[in-house]
Structure 1
Amino acid sequence: MRPVLLLGSLLLLASCGAAKNLKPAKGESLPVAPYGAKATPTPADLLKPSGQARPARSDELLQSSQERRGDEFTLPPPN
């Protein structure tokens, strides 16, 4: 059982590293330029994720320490 698992994991590992420079198939061309674009995007441009797909991350959640203001709507429980 162990050799089968080892062989399977090696095949999966070998198959995930087969990235090369992408080119259109022979006889095909790149997609037309999107509406409003000045040029047809290259394959690298098409593979780069947009800002919406991968938003920037801010690690600093608290920029300045401030006390919370009072809540006017906090009422005591009814009797």
Structure 2
Amino acid sequence: MMIRARLCLLTALSLLAGCGRVADLEPAPGQPLPVKPLMARATPTPAELLTAPPYARPERVDELVRRSEPRKPDAFDLPPPTGSAAPPEPAGTDPDPVTNETGPAVPQ
């Protein structure tokens, strides 16, 4: 039963794939091509209308670095503070003591 359903599905898909027709695209009988764009010198042909412009399909760049070059100095590439300490507080601030105590757990 299962094999028969798969066989029917495979047959239907192969018939569907084979029914496509390859021919040049042309406007419907009695219908003109689309109007000429305002800034175009001539009305584009169907092949020109179906060709994607270069900006629609940019070339893929897999290799980002073509040759090794030393990096330029970066003013923001600073080493970490010494002793793994946090940076000091800004001038004029009053540091509040911070504790991890949350107090007793009292149901409310």
| Unpaired stretches in structure 1, ≥5 consecutive residues | none
- Percent identical across equivalent pairs? 46
SS at match of 1:52: helix
The alignment partner of 1:44 has SS state of: helix
CA distance in structure 1 between the aligned counterparts of 2:30 and 2:63, rounded to whole angstroms: 50
Structure 1 counterpart SS, 2:55: coil
Alignment of 1:1-79 (within 5 A): 1-15=5-19, 17-73=20-76, 74-77=78-81, 79=85
RMSD (CA atoms): 2.1
Structure index of larger Rg:
2
The structure, 1 or 2, with the larger RCO (C-alpha pairs under 8 Å, 6+ apart) is 1
Which stretches of structure 1, 4 residues or more, deviate above 4 A after TM superposition? none
Q: Give the drift of 1:59.
A: 4.1
Superposed CA deviations along residues 46-70 of structure 1, whole A, max 9, x for unmatched, are 1101112111233442121013244
More divergent stretch after superposition (25-34 vs 6-15): 6-15
Equivalenced residues, count: 78
Worse-matched range after superposition: 41-50 or 53-62: 53-62
Return the offset for 1:75.
4.1
Structure 2 unmatched ranges of 5 or more: 86-108
